[in-house]
Structure 1
Amino acid sequence: MTAWRLLLTRPADDCAALAETLAGEGFFSSCLPLLDIVPLPVSDKVRQGVAQLSRCSAVIVVSKPAARIAVALLDADGPHSLAMPWFSVGAATAQILRDHGLDAHCPEEGDDSEALLQLPRLREGVSLPGSRVLILRGEGGRELLAERLRELGASVEYLELYRRDLPAYAPRELPRRIEAERLNGLVVSSGQGFEHLRQMAGDAWPTIAQLPLFVPSPRVAEQARAAGAQTVVDCRGASAAALLTALREHPVPVF
């Protein structure tokens, strides 16, 4: 067992899966999910977006929840001819799409927007005149991805499928958990996850901000540093493999 004792904050199912993976590698972790995935009502806009998928040059799915909701919508809407390439940042999201028979691609190395933008198949698809990209996501997020795609000449639209709520916890549950379990590192999987972490920290944030914070991207790293986090480690991806690499490269703090 390593000296790292980590707080995991992903949605409940993903949190449990990551904890199991970490335990197999000798890392102690404690799950405190700070994101509750809530599917949005199926609006006319969502129905229209699904109906018009075949007109897209490429579809980008930014997360596993977005992929799960998307394939459920496709099933409910009936048979589709969807020969266009689908893309995701992470391999787990791509696998959900492939299991549904979709032509899904993701970076082999790195699981962030920058790695995705370097995929030749994606760049080829958006380089064609009149190319149209649809990004399936939760409320907010991945603005950099859309900006870069537009710079490459693509028309980019969003279809928001879910929101991320903060689960209900007793007051001061976050600092209590950190102290009771002697945790010495924090892991967040998104910008909103970090904002929920700060919210849960309350007036204990200046103390909690001293703990190493593992984040998935440069954007979230910048967000955390601006909020006062003192030691921010950019894992360059939200996968378990990316986190494990960062944990092995970063020294355990001594308090």
Structure 2
Amino acid sequence: MKGWRLLLTRPTDESAALAAVLNEHGVFSSSLPLLEIEALPVSGAQRAMILDLDLYCAVIVVSKPAARLGMDLLDQYWPQRPIQRWFSVGAATAQILSDYGLDVSAPQEGDDSEALLELPQLREAIARPDARVLIMRGEGGRELLAERLHEQGASVDYLELYRRGLPQYGAAALPQRIAAERLNGLVVSSGQGFSHLHQLAGTAWPELARLPLFVPSPRVADMARAAGAQKVVDCRGASAVALLTALREHPVPVL
């Protein structure tokens, strides 16, 4: 894997953790966070969802920010944890929930919506006539989960806990960073992350679109290809393990 020089675009703390793992495997990385997490105020309707949490047969938490903010709400309204099945898309999110003493399940292979939907534990949890599922997330995203759960007869509510903003950068910050660090690969962890990458690239996008782009799911891969990205690699997950596996399977480009 030596020879890869990657641009990381996750929030600052997550990029730092990923960079440390990559460095252990001889992969150089440079961080330009393209997602800034802003917690949303809790509305009356959202508060009601939290207070009625025990009425849901399953709670799905789709990201680490959603897990952290969701656990803050549990601390406020549920000093004794409600008894139900909890699910997460990735192992890191599952660890946050597990640390709070929750019964959580996550896919062992492929940390994306498709893998989660295949979990026997989730299918068992919603195998009832009145199944209700709560999805903790940021603004928008993970629509596939709700669609598939509806198809299986469950009703779905969203508890939106944060929005993802684009940090302020100069117009040429992205291409300048890639040129200065001689980067030969781009990494995004979500559809919103790719949208911000595309936006920040501006007129430099046709050139940057030639670089290998590592994405976490088929949905984001489709977004990237539709925008003109030429070398999209679906890692089937946003974890460090998923990225490292993809790096091993793809040759370092000759630029």
TM-score class, shorter? over 0.9
Q: What amino acid is aligned across from residue 238 of structure 1 in structure 2?
A: A
Residue 163 of structure 2 aligns to a residue in which SS?
A: strand
Contact 1:233 1:246 in 2 (8 A): yes
Structure 2: how far apart are the matches of 1:199 and 1:50? Answer: 35
Q: What amino acid is aligned across from residue 129 of structure 1 in structure 2?
A: P
Please, which runs of 5 or more residues in structure 1 have no aligned partner?
none
Residue 186 of structure 1 aligns to a residue in which SS?
A: strand
Residue 94 of structure 2 aligns to a residue in which SS?
A: helix
Where does 1:6-155 land on structure 2 (aligned, <5 Å)?
Answer: 6-155=6-155
Deviations 1:154-177 (A, max 9, x none): 111111000000001122100000
Q: What amino acid is aligned across from residue 38 of structure 2 in structure 1?
A: V
Structure 1: how far apart are the matches of 2:191 and 2:137? Answer: 14
- What's the counterpart of residue 182 of structure 1? 182
Give how far 1:81 is off.
Answer: 4.3
Structure 2: how far apart are the matches of 1:24 and 1:3? Answer: 14
Structure 2: how far apart are the matches of 1:107 and 1:81? Answer: 23
Q: RMSD in angstroms over aligned alpha carbons?
A: 0.9
Give how far 1:109 is off.
Answer: 1.3
Deviations 1:126-177 (A, max 9, x none): 1211100000000000001110111111111111000000001122100000
Q: What amino acid is aligned across from residue 245 of structure 2 in structure 1?
A: T
Structure 2: how far apart are the matches of 1:204 and 1:198? Answer: 9
Could you tell which deviates more after superposition, 76-85 or 187-196? 76-85
Structure 2: how far apart are the matches of 1:81 and 1:228? Answer: 47
Give how far 1:46 is off.
Answer: 1.8
Structure 2: how far apart are the matches of 1:156 and 1:42? Answer: 19
Runs of 4+ residues deviating >3 angstroms: none
Give how far 1:79 is off.
Answer: 2.0
Aligned identity (percent) is: 69
Using a 3 Å threshold, how does the CA distance of structure 1 residues 171 and 224 change in structure 2: closer, same or farther?
same
Where does 1:187-226 land on structure 2 (aligned, <5 Å)?
Answer: 187-226=187-226
Give how far 1:80 is off.
Answer: 3.8
Structure 2: how far apart are the matches of 1:254 and 1:45? Answer: 53
- What's the counterpart of residue 163 of structure 2? 163
Using a 3 Å threshold, how does the CA distance of structure 1 residues 157 and 78 change in structure 2: closer, same or farther?
closer
Deviations 1:35-59 (A, max 9, x none): 0011001211221111011000100
Structure 2: how far apart are the matches of 1:45 and 1:182? Answer: 49
Contact 1:132 1:155 in 2 (8 A): yes
Q: What amino acid is aligned across from residue 154 of structure 1 in structure 2?
A: A
TM-score by length of 1: 0.98
Deviations 1:11-58 (A, max 9, x none): 111010000110011100000000001100121122111101100010
Q: What amino acid is aligned across from residue 100 of structure 1 in structure 2?
A: Y
Q: What amino acid is aligned across from residue 55 of structure 1 in structure 2?
A: L
